[in-house]
Structure 1
Amino acid sequence: MVSVPTVAGPRDHTALGRVLMHEHVFVLNHEYEINYPDSWDHEARIDDAVAKLDDLKAHGIDTIVDLTVLGLGRDIARVREVAERTETTVIAATGFYTFAELPTYLRLRGPGRLIDAGEPMVDMFVRDLTEGIAGTGIRAAILKCATDVPGITPDVERVLRAVARAHRETGAPISTHTDPHLQRGLEQQKLFAEEGVDLTRVVIGHSGDTEDLDYLQALLDNGSYLGMDRFGLDSRLSFERRVQTVVDLTARGYADRIVLSHDTSCHSDNFPADYRAKHLPDWRFGHISEDVLPALRAAGVTDAQIDTMLVETPRAIFGRTPPL
């Protein structure tokens, strides 16, 4: 049995229950909050997040993986306030989220940079995984990186290689953001393989944004899991087509290589609640339990296959992480 670090303390990997593998508690822009403090009501936001995660628990979900990392406003102290008040388990991540460039602090530091030294992100990520985030002792349990429309730019390449090296040093799994329409997941797998990453420890995220089964099959053939993890984000792909893609993949025998999620948040500075309510009403934590699972069952996906995607596969992903 493996002890998995969570925000509220370690959990046995067999006790995570039903897991949503790609979610967020808070997505923040701290610079705006500092300069425009009326944009953040601390007590109201914490209370709201607790209520949303309590409701998620009532919908039968036990754990979320919070893939909020640097670049998305990770604030582990705030997440801890929420995690200590809800029965929903929250797993934290480390890594960096950028589509093109790193911030100046990191662009100036690293091999061949103005401040010429080793890659600082490797040490940052390893410390988060082994010692804890921001001096809290709360350890991350998974690594996160992103490749979107710009592709593997020089700075994105630095992030991906740093994530790969932290994975090799710690054994932590990797979860990614991709643009599947440009087949960025295959590019990520190629780079990870160059770095010696075990591709069976990688979740290629946002794979559910496409119904290109040939592309998804190629990712599977390379050994990785597929994140069908944007249910409710119907502006990218309709509900019906997302469900059908999962149905098609389970019919091919890949229920054990799929994880489900929404990629939504309790609060996001980028997508205010009124915008989501008007334009993306199903992009919410209860959507999978209320709508997706019944639709999968109606299309012939069995309860055993659903349990595989929500329970057994996340358990396998975290169960192979060595205790630290």
Structure 2
Amino acid sequence: MSPVATVRGPVDGAELGRTYMHEHIFTLTADVQQNHPDEWGSEEARVADAVEKLRALAAQGVRTIVDPTVVGLGRYIPRIQRIAEQVRELNVVVATGIYTYDSVPFYFHHRGPALNEALGTELPDPMVDMFVHDITDGIAGTGVRAGMLKCAIDAPGLTPGVERVMRAVARAHHRTGTPITVHTHPETRAGLAVKRVLCDEEGVDPRRVVLGHSGDTTDCDHLAELADAGFVLGMDRFGINLATTFEARADTLVEMCRRGYADSMVLSQDASCYIDWIDPAVMPFLAQWHYLHIGAEVLPYVRERGVTDAQIETMLVDNPRRILETGQPGPAPVAPQPRGTEPAPQVQ
């Protein structure tokens, strides 16, 4: 079996077990944290809290998480190493890439392709080598190798900065075979832009791409279109129920399983031990947004509505393992066609 890079070193794909494909440990604004450390508070207390929460997740039977925290989200690997050493029953796969909805970080504004027009040349993008280094040599001298590539596209759409990062991620993927996860915005059908740039133009196999936050929509026909194109759908925001409801997210998962798409989905909550983007006063309104929500509430709900244990095993064990094992694509894309003709389950 192909080894998978984790914070504590490579593990065999067979050892990944039940895997959540999109969970942060910390989501932070690095400049704010560095310059206003009172916001963070005690480092020891933050680490201890993370250890406690991740041990509780492992006690639920989850054996691996993918943490897609990259540049723009406050990635700091030495802290993650400290935590991983104390939660040895849980594998942590980290990522490389850049998280932006619009422009690239200022560091890249006058480097690489940004200078091509002015200089009349074709300069390579330095971010490609950065991503490849994180994957092949390790991140920031820690020796921890990234096992996932990350980029984003949101409501602003395919801005020049978003497109540049997406193409750099594609090129790093071709050099390393590392799978890709993309933050998407299903309401604007951003997955179709991902298909055009990553797959149609850059030649990435869609079976190696997770379209994150696909569960933000209840449009199962659109989700089926993306799955039929070969993408993996990240149903990965369970518990974030401000603009939607628990039932809407869970019923969408039920319907997609009914249609036969369990082999095209992975599950997660997109939770964090701590996220500084949100005023702590708001967190009580997101009472289900935590690492234990899927195991405690989502799985019982969908089981009652017809999702089988075999389908759950597929989404939580088989699909993540296939994605994370380098060079292991999923089932070939199929021509759009209805899958599943049995009557829809009754929603109670």
TM-score range, shorter chain: over 0.9
Count of residue pairs the alignment pairs up: 321
8 A Cα contact 1:267 1:273, kept in partner: no
Tell me the residue number matched to 1:150: 156
8 A Cα contact 2:4 2:326, kept in partner: no
Q: Does 1:187 align with 2:188?
A: no
Q: C-alpha offsets along residues 173-210 of structure 1, whole Å, 9 cap, x if unaligned?
A: 11110110000011111111210101110011100000
Tell me the residue number matched to 2:47: 46
Tell me the residue number matched to 2:13: 13
- Runs of 4+ aligned residues of structure 1 deviating over 4 Å after TM superposition are none
Aligned partner (choices 271, 278, 288) of residue 278 of structure 2: 271
Matches within 5 A, 1:21-40: 21-40=21-40
Tell me the residue number matched to 1:168: 174
8 A Cα contact 1:68 1:74, kept in partner: yes
Structure 2 CA distance for aligned equivalents of residues 146 and 30 of structure 1: 18
Letter in 2 for 1:94: T
Q: TM-score, normalised by structure 2?
A: 0.90
8 A Cα contact 1:208 1:228, kept in partner: yes
What SS class does the counterpart of residue 93 from structure 1 fall into?
A: strand
Aligned partner (choices 242, 250, 254) of residue 243 of structure 1: 250
Tell me the residue number matched to 1:58: 59
What SS class does the counterpart of residue 297 from structure 1 fall into?
A: helix
In the TM superposition, what is the alpha-carbon distance from 1:140 to its structure 2 partner? 0.3
Structure 1 CA distance for aligned equivalents of residues 84 and 114 of structure 2: 41
In the TM superposition, what is the alpha-carbon distance from 1:59 to its structure 2 partner? 1.3
**Structure 2 residues not aligned, in runs of 5+:** 329-348
In the TM superposition, what is the alpha-carbon distance from 1:320 to its structure 2 partner? 3.7
In the TM superposition, what is the alpha-carbon distance from 1:88 to its structure 2 partner? 1.5
Letter in 1 for 2:67: D
Structure 1 CA distance for aligned equivalents of residues 105 and 238 of structure 2: 31
8 A Cα contact 2:95 2:148, kept in partner: yes
Q: C-alpha offsets along residues 237-289 of structure 1, whole Å, 9 cap, x if unaligned?
A: 2111111111111111111111000001011111254421x211101000000
Aligned partner (choices 227, 232, 236) of residue 234 of structure 2: 227
What SS class does the counterpart of residue 204 from structure 1 fall into?
A: strand
Aligned partner (choices 297, 302, 305) of residue 299 of structure 1: 305
Q: C-alpha offsets along residues 40-85 of structure 1, whole Å, 9 cap, x if unaligned?
A: 2210110000000000011111111000000101001111111110
What SS class does the counterpart of residue 24 from structure 1 fall into?
A: coil
Identity level (%): 53
RMSD: 1.4
Structure 1 CA distance for aligned equivalents of residues 273 and 208 of structure 2: 27
8 A Cα contact 2:214 2:233, kept in partner: yes
Structure 1 residues 44 and 272, CA gap change in structure 2 (3 angstroms): farther
Q: TM-score, normalised by structure 1?
A: 0.96
Matches within 5 A, 1:65-214: 65-86=66-87, 87-113=89-115, 117-193=123-199, 194-214=201-221
Structure 1 CA distance for aligned equivalents of residues 14 and 264 of structure 2: 18
Structure 1 CA distance for aligned equivalents of residues 282 and 84 of structure 2: 26
Letter in 1 for 2:32: Y
